[in-house]
Chains A and B, each alone.
Chain A
Amino acid sequence: MTDHMEHHHDAESQPTKDHTRQYVSIFVLLGIITLAEVGVFYVDALQSLLVPLILGLSAIKFLLVVMYYMHLKADHKVLTLFFAVGAVMAITMFVIVPWIVIWQYA
């Protein structure tokens, strides 16, 4: 019995190339950004900038996972388009809609 499995590759993928170092580097970067977020949370002097800093750092983590772990950076652009439409609608719902509602009741 063989220990190798049947697999089909997309035209864009490079199955034999080892990306382990890149994946671990991204993980370390994600960890550092998470620690930075928690640091911002605990530092009193940064409380006025808490919302933009947390949203900005979260956006960087989001993009790192989507581009490198989900392979959108190297994958077909149509997939990026589909996901971008969903992401933009999500951002509209959790950033713009709450802002409008809170502004109306302020």
Chain B
Amino acid sequence: MSTYPLPQQEALEQPTTAPTTGAAVHPEPNTGIDSKKLGMWVFLASECMLFGSLLGTYIVYVGQSVSGPLPQDLFNIPLTTLFTFVLLSSSLTVVLADQAAKQGNIRKMRFWLGATVALGLSFLGFQVFEYSHFMAEGLFLRTNLFGSTFYVLTGFHGVHVSIGVIWFSSLLISSLRKNRRAVSATNVELAGLYWHFVDIVWIVVFGVVYLMADI
């Protein structure tokens, strides 16, 4: 059974510029920004380029399909709007979990992390339902250019949502097991940044892929 870390272990997490032991310490970064946070933002910038290229490919090829089914035959806008709300709601629960973590309120943080996991799983359930419906209508990865680009774009997004759900689940489990190091406010913030990025990708996908389907 995991317990709270020992004081010596906690001390290893404290940034210091004057190490007194041979143990690993975190020196003050030159930028004045937490290195983990800086690394996450650089990672998210690279993710922007990944999804930018996937969206660009979708836009170029979506109108080039020579056979159906086509987007306007398949998309269910009211249902997709509902699940867009689900993902937007998860961004609210994440930011509230982040705030609770910074305030040191672990009970609230657990509640909002649990809510985020539930909303993320709901969104994934929607994606499974949507894919099974599209496949029943005859749209597969190889059916046409719309199928190829749609499944690759939304599939990559779904994988990112899945990683986020696993990440938040691990934070929630760690907090329930009283593993304070794993659920530091910084770790919750990093997971939150990742999740908000997944949300903003969906904001663009919803507009460009679903609402501009008839263009």
Contact = CB atoms under 8 A, between A and B. Distances in A.
Give chain B's interface secondary structure class.
helix
Given A65-B203, A79-B38, A90-B49, A4 B102 contact: no
A19 B99 contact: yes
Nearest to A60: B203
Interface residues of A, number: 60
Interface in B35-60: 37-38, 41-42, 44-49, 51-53, 55-56, 59-60
A99 B196 CA distance: 28
A20 B96 CA distance: 7
B73 interface: no
Interface string B91-125: 11011100101111111010000000000000000
Given A51-B212, A90-B49, A93-B55, A65 B200 contact: yes
Nearest to A26: B92
Interface of B: 4, 10, 13-15, 31-34, 37-38, 41-42, 44-49, 51-53, 55-56, 59-60, 77, 81, 84-85, 88-89, 91-92, 94-96, 99, 101-107, 109, 175, 178, 180-181, 183-186, 192-193, 196-197, 199-200, 203-204, 206-208, 211-212, 214-215
Given A24-B92, A61-B200, 9 more contacts: A6-B180, A7-B184, A20-B96, A20-B99, A54-B212, A76-B33, A86-B45, A90-B53, A97-B56
